[in-house]
Amino acid sequence: MKTKILLTLFSLAILACSDGTQQQDESTSLAVKIPNVKVVNPEQRSFTSTLQIIGNAMPNKQVNIHAMEGGFLSELKKDIGDKVKKGDVLAVLNNPELTRELEINKVAKQVSEANYLRFKKVIAKTPELTTLQEFEKVEATYLMANAKYKATTNRDSLLSIRAPFSGVITARNVELGALIQSGINNSNTIALFEIMDMEIIRLTVALPETEVDNISKGMQAKISFTELPGQTFSVHVSRLANAIDNRTKTMKVQLDIPNRNGKIKAGMYANVEIQLQSTGDKISLPNEALIVVKSEFFVLQVKEGIVKRTLIKKGLSNIYFFEVLSNEITENSKIIIEGKAMVKAGMQVKAVN
């Protein structure tokens, strides 16, 4: 009996010791599971960065030329690829009805003018032979006929299709004998020609929203084209749209490139390098702190021992640091740069500088 009692007491003692050891091991295990992560505090820096982006070469001016008076195409003066100067005749239309109207109005103007001059001479020398009312009526008839003739003459001059500016004919859409409608009176008319001024190329760049604050008119840029190896064009930013396209979240930037030799063709893609300068010192972090997920930028910061994932906007960058554009990040924030792969949002960690 005594032996059984002793065995029971001994077993209970062993279990008690085992429970104590297990609790100690669990506490030790919990302490070990809290990972150490290396953190840094953001610092103020000023950045100069080179933006590399693709641009699209467009002509300085481009227009589709429509007829402003109807008729059939009787003469073609210019064709695709021809260089033209402002005012050059590109094509001539013929409108028999308008020609007849012009002749009738010319005769009517001549008759009324002769009558007007005769009445004017009479009223000047012998005013008693006519009345002022009759003279004013003759004068009005002449003025109306003259205005009608001038209007018809202007319409007739529109039968000659002229270049609105100097450039190159890049398209011709009609043939001799085609019946042409007036583009003023009809909205669905076919353009006769397309003309481009390519002595200056407007290079258009879609600048990302994150870079908008760092660019200004006059900044220097270097342009190169794959089709023109070995040639680099040094130009300046010519104009900014100063508005963000909500669809693409980009801003249109244009750079003018002299192109008197015509080597740059409209539609070419260009490699653009623009030197960007940050507007004053901004908060920055080492590149190791940045996390990129589906074109979005994040950092992991430690607040009261807990990991928090914070969405940011990324500004300028160099090989070591990047600008942080976020109100949630300050110079006192603790940002993880080592150990990011071992932790996730909501975990308890120990921050080590």
The 10s digit of each residue's pLDDT in 37-83 is 999 999 988 877 788 899 999 999 999 999 999 999 999 999 999 99
Using a 10 angstrom Cβ sphere, with 0-12 exposed, 13-18 middle and 19 or more buried, the burial of residue 243 is exposed
**Which residue do the tokens 């942080």 mark?**
324
How far is the C-alpha of 64 from the C-alpha of 77, rounded, in Å?
17
Segment among 16-25, 136-145, 344-353 with least mean pLDDT = 16-25
Res 326 pLDDT > 90: no
Inter-residue contact 53 to 222 (CB < 8 Å): no
pLDDT at residue 329, rounded to an integer: 93
Neighbours of 120 (CB within 10 A): 14
pLDDT at residue 58, rounded to an integer: 95
Say if domain 96-158 classifies as CATH 2.60.260.40: no
Say if domain 36-47+281-352 classifies as CATH 2.40.420.20: yes
Q: Is the pTM of this model over 0.85?
A: no
Res 207 pLDDT > 50: yes
Say if domain 51-60+202-277 classifies as CATH 3.40.50.300: no
* 227-253: pLDDT as tens digits: 999 899 999 999 999 999 999 989 999
The kind and range of the H/E element at 269 are: strand 269-277
> Tokens representing 53?
């982006």
How far is the C-alpha of 182 from the C-alpha of 214, rounded, in Å?
48
Compute, in degrees rounded to 10, the torsion defined by CA atoms 183, 185, 189, 193: -10
Q: Taking the CA of residue 210 as centre, how many other CA atoms within 13 Å lie in the half-sphere pointing to its CB?
A: 16
**One-letter amino acid for residue 264 of the chain:** I
pLDDT at residue 122, rounded to an integer: 86
pLDDT at residue 314, rounded to an integer: 85
> Tokens representing 195?
């003309």
Inter-residue contact 98 to 92 (CB < 8 Å): no
- Which stretches of 66-157 are assigned E, i.e. beta strand? 71-76, 83-84, 89-94
**Which residue do the tokens 């996730």 mark?**
344
pLDDT at residue 10, rounded to an integer: 52
Is there a common fold for 51-60+202-277 and 96-158? no
Angle, alpha carbons 67-68-71 (nearest 5°): 65
pLDDT at residue 32, rounded to an integer: 54
> Tokens representing 191?
């353009």
The domain ranges of the chain are: 36-47+281-352, 51-60+202-277, 96-158
Point out which residues pair with 319 in neighbouring strands. none
CA distances from 57 to 113, 269, 274 (A): 57, 6, 16
142 versus 7: the higher-pLDDT residue is: 142
